Chains A and B, each alone.
Chain A
Amino acid sequence: MRAVEAIMQCLKAEEVDVIFGLPGGANLPTYDAIYDSGIRHILVRHEAGGGHAAEGYAKATGKVGVSLATSGPGATNLVTPIADAMMDSVPTVFITGQVRTDLLGTDGFQEADITGITMPIVKHSVMIRDPRDIPSAIHEAFHVASTGRPGPVLVDVPQDLSRADIDYEPITSVDLPGYQPTTSGNAKQIRLAARALANAKRPVLYVGGGVVNSNASEQLRELALSDKFPVTATLMGLGAFPAPHEQWLGMLGMHGTRAANYAMDEADLIVAIGARFDDRITGKLDEFAPHAKFIHIDIDPAEISKNVPAHIPIVGDAKDILGKLSTEYKALNAEPARMNEWWSKITGWREQYPLGYEDSADSEIKPQFMIQEMLRVTEGQAIVSSDVGQHQMWTAQYYDFPEPRRWINSGGAGTMGFGLPAAMGAQVGCPDDLVVCLAGDGSLQMNIHELATCADNDIPVKIFLMNNGFLGMVRQWQELFWDRRYSAVDTGKHPDWVKLADAYGATGMQVTDKTQLGDAFKEAIETEGPVLVDVRVTPEENTYPMIPAGQAARDMVG
């Protein structure tokens, strides 16, 4: 059979039910095979949209997202989604067309060394050199993308090889001697961790996206509730522990709550679970959690002691480890009263510094109010995808996620334009859920063309656009740290979002009065198909609280 037909067989064997992509010369054979493969293909309007859609699909469903592009510019358009998937550990497989092998290295038409270009931003990549290797390469790609610490894998297929005839035998196992992720945690270390927890008077569970990736929410809850451990999470970990909850401190880090950041600052024991001590969490490294010992649970050994030296490292799958840790911990019958003082401190911070803002006295829509209205109208039940900026942080602060995989955003890379295509992917993966894209006016334009994809494919994403007329987060930094010299942050008067929505085949609405906001959201949700609600919010509102970059938790402002 043709190698491209073998690719389709492999994709089916991997239970791929949808592909996001865009064809071109070098992957014409692949598209010919897609034609009657029975696999759903969604034609995106830009390969970056396809890549982010694959990410959104993967984040919402936990399955591997798949995206296709042709060679050269098609492939380079995938660079941002690939980098994004690497930073946030998103299981994705990218299959690119490449020029014919006789043209390789000759600067042939639409040739780009995509494996070379993406080398530092993939978990793994391979360029096919023998068509007989194609089936194993595809299965290996899925295996590497979805196991261990997930990530993007690129398979680059030269056009002539994709047309070659090969003997296809279904493959049931992969053979990668150099790839053996550790999944089961070391029992001795887990026992030691349990004893450390039993002896901690001021513990905090610090949860990252790894808990979402390993589907370990249940186990996290069990551990947290096996005593009264306070829980905080990174931007990527939101939803791993249900919010609101009496043990939930809110997000930590640069725009986290004071309760969460102060708890880290005074903790005697921090249990990092699937989190990586990013600079947005630690702030000034030398002053980060100065009194704490660290238990670090992660499937990627390279994360352990990378930024903050661990006292009890445990390498493995969070689900496995947390389950065992709870059991070990319960067996110790620790005295819960040892944390009383700690909780009274935490409660004090919560009462003294709740998240808050000054609401407008008139009809003006404060951005925080917009998120609260979204929470109220959706009853916390939406899958929310966001772009990058202030609106993202406000959503993280004010929208309570009861479950994992409902908060879909670009954390590590902070990729503007992620929101809409990711929402599209999430909606395709979860057709029965309400999917909202909480967009920024700067970010949304970066991939707005995917609105056409949504309209043409009946993907009923609801875009709630937080329109502050600024590249707001950058404006905030210029206001606070650059003497209010607003340089290139005004997003101007265009486009007319309602007309734009209309032009793309979606429904457009605009809201300027806060009393009408809730009803507008309801109407949007009830309207069939994709809807864009242009919400005019306060132009110059700052996201607080905030730890200025490079400072310590104690230095929180606002």
Chain B
Amino acid sequence: MGDPGTKEVFRLEDLEATGGRLMGRKHVLSILVENEPGVLARIAGLFARRGYNINTLAVGPTDDDQVSRITMTIDGAEHPIDQVTKQLHKLVHVLKIRDLDPNESVRRELALFKVEADAHVRQEIVQLTEIFKGRVVDVARRSITVEITGDDEKIEGFEQLVRPFGLIEMVRTGEIAVQRGRAET
């Protein structure tokens, strides 16, 4: 919407609706909250009640011991993201929300893959792990456990490759993220 002062002719028809729309992409919400009991329950409850789906969730301390950070990813094709953030802002203990564009931020997640691997495929999995700059963290007679760090595409890429070997278990932390090229929190 333009500056109302600059338009010569005003026509109601030219007004465009704002907000409430599905943005269609993945959103990474980085939420700073006061370290109070029940904050996570309030956020989870809000999402459940309003029918919003959380894809991943990671909670951890920040440099300030009064403040925690919650990083969650949600699908903007399913939920109008402005509604989600506005509802979150209504919680008194929510201090700040940043809606990070996945393309403009550094995102990281840690995943552990326990894969079926007897002696003759083990080498192949080790090679894949090297290509993905991962680490082998445990080797047993019939399985191998690998640690991969990266954004969700990388982790899902690795998952695709090892699945055919027999994926016994996959454990993911959920993404954390920071905006590129800016130092502020």
Contact = CB atoms under 8 A, between A and B. Distances in A.
Interface string B11-28: 110011111110000000
Interface of A: 115-116, 119-120, 123-124, 127, 129, 144, 176-179, 188-189, 191-192, 195-196, 198-200, 268-269, 293-294, 300-302, 304-306, 308-313
Given A191-B5, A192-B4, A311 B92 contact: no
A301 B20 contact: no
Contact of A178 (B1, B5, B37, B94): B94
Given A199-B10, A269-B12, A304-B86, 5 more contacts: A119-B42, A119-B45, A178-B94, A198-B10, A302-B87
B164 interface: no
A528 to B, nearest CB: 46
A293 B15 contact: yes
B33 to A, nearest CB: 8
A448 B27 CA distance: 51
Nearest to A313: B18
A188 B92 contact: no
A191 B93 contact: no
B109 interface: no
A104 to B, nearest CB: 11
A213 B49 CA distance: 26
B163 interface: no
Interface residues of B, number: 35
Nearest to A310: B18
Nearest to A181: B90
Given A127-B37, A304-B19, A309-B21, A178 B12 contact: no
A196 B38 CA distance: 45
B4 A191 contact: yes
Nearest to B48: A120
B17 A309 contact: yes
Interface of B: 1, 3-5, 10-12, 15-21, 33-34, 37-38, 41-42, 45-46, 49, 80, 82-83, 86-87, 89-95
Given A191-B4, A313-B19, A306 B92 contact: no
B15 A116 contact: no
A309 B20 contact: yes
Task: Give the interface SS of chain A, mostly helix, strand, loop or mixed.
Answer: mixed
B12 A200 contact: yes
Closest 6 CB pairs of A and B: A305-B19, A305-B20, A309-B17, A192-B4, A302-B86, A311-B15
A280 B33 CA distance: 35
Contacts of A306: 20, 83
Nearest to A140: B92
B15 A178 contact: no
Task: Give the interface SS of chain B, mostly helix, strand, loop or mixed.
Answer: loop
B4 A195 contact: yes
A208 B15 CA distance: 23
A59 to B, nearest CB: 22
A300 B87 CA distance: 10
A308 B83 CA distance: 12
A178 B37 CA distance: 15
Contacts of A313: 18-19
Contacts of B46: 120
A294 B1 CA distance: 14
A178 B34 contact: yes
A301 B87 CA distance: 9
Contacts of A189: 4
A310 B5 contact: no
A116 B18 contact: no
Contacts of B37: 127, 129
Contacts of A120: 45-46, 49
Contact of A305 (B15, B17, B49, B87): B17
A302 B4 contact: no
B83 A311 contact: no
A119 B41 contact: yes
7 contacts: A120-B46, A129-B37, A177-B95, A178-B91, A196-B12, A300-B90, A304-B86
Nearest to B80: A305
A196 B13 CA distance: 10
Given A119-B41, A120-B45, A306-B83, A195 B10 contact: yes
Contacts of B10: 195-196, 198-199
A189 B20 CA distance: 18
B12 A124 contact: no
A173 B29 CA distance: 31
B92 A178 contact: yes
Residue in A116, A294, A308, A311 whose Cβ sees the most chain B Cβ within 10 Å? A311
A306 B20 CA distance: 6
Given A178-B94, A301-B86, A305-B82, A115 B3 contact: no
Given A119-B45, A311-B15, A124 B92 contact: yes
Given A178-B93, A302-B90, A310 B4 contact: no
Given A144-B92, A178-B34, A196 B15 contact: yes
